[in-house]
């Protein structure tokens, strides 16, 4: 599937040893730009770390990874995959991407974002605010999930006390807030959500 950071797949496993064996299979076909995360419950494969970055080569590698995993008896579970990113909002003249890269120890991927060089942490990106809009909440979290998981995640967040702030792009995305007004976006894009892109 394609989430904020590119192509990703999560394969459930029964043990860390099984994850390591599957990672070896994937590593033989995947190439150099792959991030593998192993736990005793799953192997996660990320083919890129760039925000909204998917190239034809990624599609070919993703297909090869899926075929190799299937041959090894593993099937990806879309409900396990997610990408969390932090959007740091600022007026155009106050965008300070260098500060955020420095304080987080992140690498540059593009002019407006940063990524954990170890591949463990969330990405961040700078969001331009309309200069005429008053600055209230300068940061929010984006949670990118598979399109068929978005409404379940929304329901869980609402049951936990959240409220919908904006559903104008649903079912592609919903902006929610907690009781204090902190915002989070549950996004099914760019994973083929209806009505988007």
pLDDT in tens, 59-94: 888 889 999 999 999 999 999 988 888 888 777 777
Please name every residue paired with 162 in a beta bridge, in sequence order, or none if there are none.
Answer: none
Do the domain assignments include residue 74? yes
Do the domain assignments include residue 197? no
pTM value is 0.76
Binned at pLDDT 50, 70 and 90, residue 48 comes out as low
**CATH code at 71?**
3.30.1360
Question: Same structural domain for residues 113 and 163?
Answer: yes
Question: Same structural domain for residues 60 and 8?
Answer: yes
Question: Same structural domain for residues 140 and 165?
Answer: yes
Domain closes at, from 80, 109, 131: 80
Binned at pLDDT 50, 70 and 90, residue 109 comes out as confident
Please answer whether residues 20 and 38 qualify as being in contact, where contact means their C-beta atoms are separated by less than 8 angstroms.
yes
Domain that holds residue 169: 82-187
Q: How far apart are CA 147 and CA 78, in angstroms?
A: 9
Question: Same structural domain for residues 71 and 132?
Answer: no
Question: Same structural domain for residues 127 and 112?
Answer: yes
Q: How far apart are CA 3 and CA 131, in angstroms?
A: 29
Do the domain assignments include residue 194? no
Binned at pLDDT 50, 70 and 90, residue 7 comes out as confident
Cα–Cα distances in angstroms (integers) from residue 53 to residues 4, 76, 77, 138, in the given order: 8, 21, 22, 25
Average pLDDT of the chain, as a whole number: 83
Do the domain assignments include residue 171? yes
Domain count, the chain: 2
Query: pLDDT: is 136 or 123 the higher one?
Result: 123
Query: Mean of the pLDDT values across residues 146-164?
Result: 92
Domain closes at, from 80, 115, 146: 80
Question: Same structural domain for residues 168 and 126?
Answer: yes
List the structure tokens of 34: 């792959």
Question: Same structural domain for residues 86 and 167?
Answer: yes
Please answer whether residues 189 and 196 qualify as being in contact, where contact means their C-beta atoms are separated by less than 8 angstroms.
yes
Q: How far apart are CA 180 and CA 109, in angstroms?
A: 32
Question: Same structural domain for residues 53 and 130?
Answer: no
For the residues of the chain, what is the DSSP string, one character each? -EETTEEEEEEE-SSHHHHHHHHHHHHHHH-TT-EEEE-SSEEEEES--STT---HHHHHHHHHHHHHHHHTT----GGG-EEEEEEEEE-GGG--HHHHHHHHTPEESSTTEEE-TTS-SPEEEEEEPPTTS--S--EEEEEEE-HHHHHHHHHHHHHTT-EEEE-TTTTTEEEEE-TT--EEEEE-TTS--TT--
Question: Same structural domain for residues 133 and 180?
Answer: yes
**CATH code at 129?**
3.10.180.10
Do the domain assignments include residue 195? no
Question: Same structural domain for residues 180 and 90?
Answer: yes
């Amino acid at each position: 599937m394609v989430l904020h950071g590119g192509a990703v797949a999560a394969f459930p496993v029964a043990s860390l040893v099984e994850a390591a064996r599957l990672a070896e299979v994937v590593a033989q076909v995947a190439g150099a730009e792959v991030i593998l995360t192993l736990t005793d419950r799953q192997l996660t494969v990320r083919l890129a770390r760039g925000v909204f970055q998917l190239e034809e080569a990624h599609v070919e590698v993703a297909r090869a990874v899926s075929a190799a995993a299937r041959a090894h008896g593993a099937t990806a579970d879309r409900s396990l995959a997610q990408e969390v990113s932090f959007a740091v909002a600022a007026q155009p003249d106050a965008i300070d991407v260098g500060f955020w890269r420095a304080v987080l120890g992140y690498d540059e991927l593009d002019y407006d974002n940063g990524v954990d060089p170890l591949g463990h942490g969330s990405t961040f990106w700078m969001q331009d605010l309309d200069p005429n809009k008053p600055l209230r909440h300068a940061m929010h979290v984006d949670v990118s999930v598979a399109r068929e998981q978005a409404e379940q995640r929304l329901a869980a967040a609402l049951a936990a006390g959240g409220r919908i702030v904006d559903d104008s792009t649903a079912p592609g995305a919903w902006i929610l807030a907690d009781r204090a007004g902190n915002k989070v976006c549950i996004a099914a894009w760019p994973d083929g959500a209806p009505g988007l892109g």
